[in-house]
Each structure stands twice: as structure tokens, then as C-alpha cells.
Amino acid sequence: MKKFLFILIAALFFSSCGDEDKSADTLIDNGDLSAIKARKTELSNQQRELKAEIEKLNNFIQKKEKKQAAILVSTETLNDTIFKHFVEVQGNVETDQNIIIYPEYSGVLTKVYVNEGQRVSKGQRLAKIDDGGLSSQVAQQETQTALAKTTYERRKRLWDQKIGSEIQFLEAKANYEASLDATNQLKSQLAKTVIKAPFSGVIDNVMAEQGQVVNQGQTQVIRLVDLSDMYVKASLPENYLNNIRVGTEVSINLSSIGQEFKGTVRQVGNYINPDNRTFDVEIDIPNKNGQVKPNLIATVKVNDYTNENAITIPENILQENAEGETIAYLYQPQSDSIGVAKRVKLEIGLNYGNQIEVKSGLNDGDVVIIEGAKSVRDGQRVTTKN
């Protein structure tokens, strides 16, 4: 195109200069002012025409060269990688050792041995209820039992020597056993007047006051919590049931306290909730500093799919053609910095984050166009900036 422009300009120049009678020197020598002015006007008109022609040709050349110019893009070489997909749900922090202790005996609460925030051990005395004379009954019963035992042992020795009657021996034995059972029952009742810790933990709340009348199984006395065995419970849709099992990788975020944990599923529920078609999973979480509390809201990400040898690309470089097919562009080098964009059709899988799994269409080692991918066409020249 540039060669054509040069020939045109040269032809116009020589045609304008070919008439010797109209040359500037000849006209000046002749001294004809009118002829000189006419020639000047003629040359000025030719000059304007040439400028217009040159401008048209330049515009065409620029447009043509712009279309053929290489587009600046960035690329990425693909490698096999581990692709993991996570399903995200909301869970709740729980502990099985978070209970309210109710009295097993009715009476006046005579003593509370612990304070809120105090750590206690399993079996430690927490409170005492007035036994209403039950301890005296136990003492009397123990005396009767001791007498019945002595009578039984004597009858047994005589019976072993074939002295006395068998009925006397059996009556002594029955009286002793009945008395012993009565004593044990009274002792069991008396033991219920002392409230003990069923497990080691922290006194979270003392609900009853000393001197208050408490009723068996009705009055709340103490809340005891153990924060050492914490877990998160979350509900997942039933369509994930085949993908989740004990040992499945899980990520837990407790935004309220700014902590994140990695763990695994410790239990998968065997019951589908008919109301929302979900099943429960449980995940252990550590609590070394005691910051994790029951009923904290947790964001739970459960790994429901893993491909150990996956090809992944950024999801935002994908395009769709008129046939509804998913496409991307490969970079095929032609020189050190210039290459050609090649369109490829893809079969895609799951996506997570900004990465999407490519099941077919791309291979390990392919160079895919990242930045500028949506500005190129199949076969277009591109240059890389990376």
C-alpha cells in the first residue's frame, strides 16, 4: 500500500513538471505576471488535491495496520494440580457436656460449695440439701443391720455344726439381707442430698441460692460446662450424602472470635430431616485457650469433591459461542514475543473460588491466554507481556 502511494505522488509530480513552457523559470524569464499568477493558482490547487489524496491513503493504511497489529495479552502455562470443591453451610458450636443440674432430693439448699467460673472435678461436691433427719434413719438402720448380721453369723455357725433348726438359720439370713437392702436404700437416698459434678468442667451459673427450697427434678441449681470437648454441628442437603463420610476434610471459620480451624468430619448422621431434607455432620474443634463457646455461629466448608490431577483455569476467562459451547483461547507462539490465539472448546466441571475444573479441551503444558482473553479472536496475532 505504501508503494502504491509513492507511485501516485511521483506520477502527479512529474505530470505537473512535464510541461516546460509552464515551468517556474520559463515563466519568470518571460516576465508575464498574469501567467505567473495563473501558474501559481494551478499549482496550489494541485497541492490541495495531493494533500487530500495522501490523507485518504494514510487513513486507510492506519486502519489496515491497526487490524493486523498484535494484541497485548498475558498467558499462563497449565499444570496438573489438586482441585477441591467445598460446599459451604452454617453450623453451630456445641458440646455434649453442657448441662443444668437438677436436685434428686427435695428440701432446703443448706450449702453451695462452688462459685461461678470455678473449675471442678468429676465427683466433686457442689451443694448440700437438708436431709430432714434421713441421716439419723440411716444410723438406726445400720445398727439394726449390724444386729441382724451378728444373729445370722451365729445361726450359720450352729447350722454348720448341725445344731438348731434349718428354719431358724434361713430366717436369720433373710432378716439380715432385708435389713442390709433397707440400709443401702436409705444410704442411696441420703447420697442424693449431696449434689456432685457428673464430669469435670467449669461452673457457668449458680441458679439457686443457699436457703432456698429446691424440688426434685424441677429446680435448676447449677449449670456445668466442659469446654474441652467442643464440636460443630452442621446440616447438609441430602444430595451430598454420597460425597460426605467420616474423615472428610472440613474448614471452619468462627468470625465472631476471628479463628479458623481445619478438621475432619467425625460423625455423619443417619437420619434425613423430612422438614428440610438435610442430614447432620459433626466436626471436632480444639479449644486450648477456652475462647470457643457453645452456640457460636460457624461457617463450615465441607470438601465434597477432590480431583488429584485436575486442569483448572480462572473462571472469568471463559466465553460462550453462538452454539452455547464454552470456549477459551490458547497461545501458540510464532516468535519470541508474537503468537496466535487459538480457540478451543471446553468441557467444564465444578468451580470453586475463581478456579474451574476443565474436564476436556485443555492439557498439561498448554499455554492459555488470561488477560485479554475476551478481546481476541481465533487466529488473531497476540503478543505477551509476561
pLDDT in tens, 240-278: 999 999 999 999 999 999 999 999 999 999 999 999 999
71-82+308-384 CATH, one of 2.40.420.20, 1.10.540.10, 3.40.50.150, 3.30.230.10:
2.40.420.20
Q: Which amino acid is at 87?
A: V
Helices in the chain by DSSP H: which ranges?
Answer: 2-17, 24-30, 33-68, 134-160, 166-191
Q: Which of 231, 232, 265 is nearest to 248 (CA)?
A: 265
Q: Hey, what amino acid is at 85?
A: H
* Span 101-224 CATH architecture: Beta Barrel (2.40)
Residues 93/295, Cβ–Cβ less than 8 Å: yes
Distances (CA, A) of 37 to 26, 28, 188, 289, 316: 13, 11, 138, 103, 68
Confidence of residue 229 (pLDDT cuts 50, 70, 90): confident
Between residues 267 and 33, which one has the greater pLDDT? Answer: 267
CATH of span 88-96+225-306: 2.40.30.170
What's the pLDDT tens digit per position in 47-105? 888 888 888 887 776 566 555 577 888 999 999 999 999 999 999 999 988 999 999 99
Q: Which residues pair with 202 in a beta bridge?
A: 119, 225
- pLDDT tens for 326-373 read 999 999 998 777 899 999 999 999 999 899 999 999 999 999 999 988
Cα 385 → chain centroid: 35
How many angstroms from the chain centroid is the CA of residue 156? Answer: 74
Q: Among 8-22, 23-37, 136-150, name the most confident range.
A: 136-150
Distance of CA 227 to the CA centre of its chain: 23
> Is 90 exceeded by the pLDDT of residue 227?
no
- Rounded to 5°, the CA angle 137-140-142 comes to 105
Residue with cell 505477551: 384
Asked if 285 and 336 count as a contact pair (C-beta separation under 8 A), the reply is no
Integer Cα distance of 102 and 192 in angstroms = 11
How far lies 138's CA from each of 108, 111, 146, 224, in Å?
19, 21, 12, 30
At 16 the pLDDT is 47
